[in-house]
Copies of this chain bind each other. A is one copy, B any other.
């Protein structure tokens, strides 16, 4: 009954999606013919639409009123119909420029990535900070704040730092602090958490037992590493709520029912963004696979996510320092644009991080757009 997926039907599917993404209203056969000057009559388009519906790519919210794409429709579009675009050179330049302005300030990168993602893809964005698979200690610095308080700066591989205050006994000189920090730095050099714990248990350096103060410091580092390990998993940056809010999905133009649902939707979205719940399972997945992941609506089991699509990509230095970033928005989303944005920013961030890792920096400005495999 349904018939084959002819060339024309694919084009119609593509047009329906395009149109729906643009207007956010169900698209009618006649509109399509008029707007795109199709060389066939509305009736023909209707027939094809009916076929596409039976194939599962389109639906009908109401008997009257046009068609809208299903998740499967979007999926087919993303996989087969969409032409793979890149951001325009001008946009790429603008984005690079923004990153250039915070070069060096690596604590700003993730936030900036979120902000740019959101603005460019016109949707909400999420990102995790880059994270080593294995947290590795690098060095410890102690700076006296006053007689009984010092600031410890714990540095890990990959430019991750953690600050911590700790009380000290009044007698200690700056030289004292420096020496202790030096001992601990050397002792724990390049240690992973487990290694650090072992070393803490032994509590000797070159056969000499650690002083009490040094032991305190080692303990502090271990605790900081544990805390980091636990916390970093959950920390998800996000931005662009406002961007997403201005999508028509959240404007109750029609009835009151719609409005109620819009608010409810919004609340859910907020919860997702805030807690990263709903993203949870996706992130390890994105970390595992390279390339850009597209999860459309209900494909992802979570019920709360039924109306949203997520586009994620891993970024960073393979095996050393990786994170995930992406875009989240209504299923009715400009996939080509969102995907190329995510791809571009992921590659940009990867290059930035690579500079941190490799002595011989690759050109930190991807000339066109180094596509990851999809």
Contacts and interface: CB of A to CB of B under 8 A. Distances in A.
B138 A143 contact: yes
A288 interface: no
A143 B155 contact: yes
Interface residues of A, number: 51
A24 B101 CA distance: 48
Q: Count identical subunits in the complex.
A: 2
Contacts of A153: 141, 153, 155, 161
Contact of A104 (B103, B146, B166, B267): B166
Prevailing SS type, chain A contact patch: mixed
A106 interface: yes
Interface of A: 103-107, 138-139, 141, 143, 145-149, 151, 153, 155, 159, 161-166, 170, 227, 241-242, 245-246, 250-252, 255-256, 259-260, 262-263, 266-267, 270-271, 274, 355-361
A147 B242 contact: no
A104 B164 contact: yes
A358 B246 CA distance: 49
Given A104-B165, A104-B166, 13 more contacts: A141-B141, A141-B153, A146-B357, A159-B165, A161-B161, A241-B270, A242-B267, A242-B271, A242-B274, A245-B267, A252-B256, A259-B263, A263-B263
A149 B170 CA distance: 36
B242 A164 contact: no
Contacts of A159: 145, 151, 163, 165
Contacts of A242: 267, 270-271, 274
Contacts of A227: 105
B245 A252 contact: no
Given A148-B359, A149-B355, A242-B274, A163 B105 contact: yes
Contact of A143 (B107, B139, B149, B162): B139
Given A105-B163, A153-B153, A270 B255 contact: no
A358 B242 CA distance: 42
A105 B164 CA distance: 5
Given A141-B141, A166-B104, A259-B260, A149 B241 contact: no
Contacts of A252: 252, 256, 259-260, 263
A319 to B, nearest CB: 16
